[in-house]
Amino acid sequence: MRHGTLGLTTFIVLTILSCGKQATKDTVGMTSINQITSDYDSLIYNVKVHGDTNAYDELFYGFIDANEIERTDSVLRYSKIMATNFRYEKAYYDYLTALCEKNGIDTDFYPLSKLDLTNQDEQTKKVIIEWLQQMLQDKVITQEEFNSVK
Instruction: Indicate whether 12 belongs to any domain.
Output: yes
Judge whether 22 lies within some domain: no
Q: What proportion of the chain, given as a percentage, has pLDDT over 90? A: 53
Identify residue 28 by its one-letter amino acid code: V
Biggest CA-to-CA distance, the chain? 59
| 21 lies in some domain | no
pLDDT of res. 21: 40
Which 8-state DSSP code applies to residue 140?
S
Whole-angstrom Cα distance, residue 80 to residue 91? 7
Whether 74 and 102 have beta carbons less than 8 Å apart is answered as: no
Report whether 118 contacts 150 (CB < 8 A): yes
Q: How many domains does the chain have?
A: 1
The predicted pLDDT at position 7 comes to: 41
**Residues 70-128 pLDDT 10s:** 788 889 999 999 999 999 999 999 999 999 999 999 888 888 889 999 999 999 999 99
In the predicted structure, residue 15 carries a pLDDT above the cut 50: no
Question: Which residue range(s) make up the domain with 35?
Answer: 3-16+31-148
| Start-to-end C-alpha separation, the chain | 38
d(C-alpha 96, C-alpha 72), whole Å: 11
Answer yes or no: is pLDDT of 23 > 50.
no
Q: How confident is the model at residue 129 (pLDDT cuts 50, 70, 90)?
A: very high
10 or 136, which is more confident?
A: 136
Rounded mean pLDDT of 24-52? 65
Closest Cα to residue 109, out of 146, 72, 61? 146
Residue 56 falls within a domain, yes or no?
Answer: yes
**Spatial CA neighbour of 135 closest among 73, 90, 77, 76:** 90
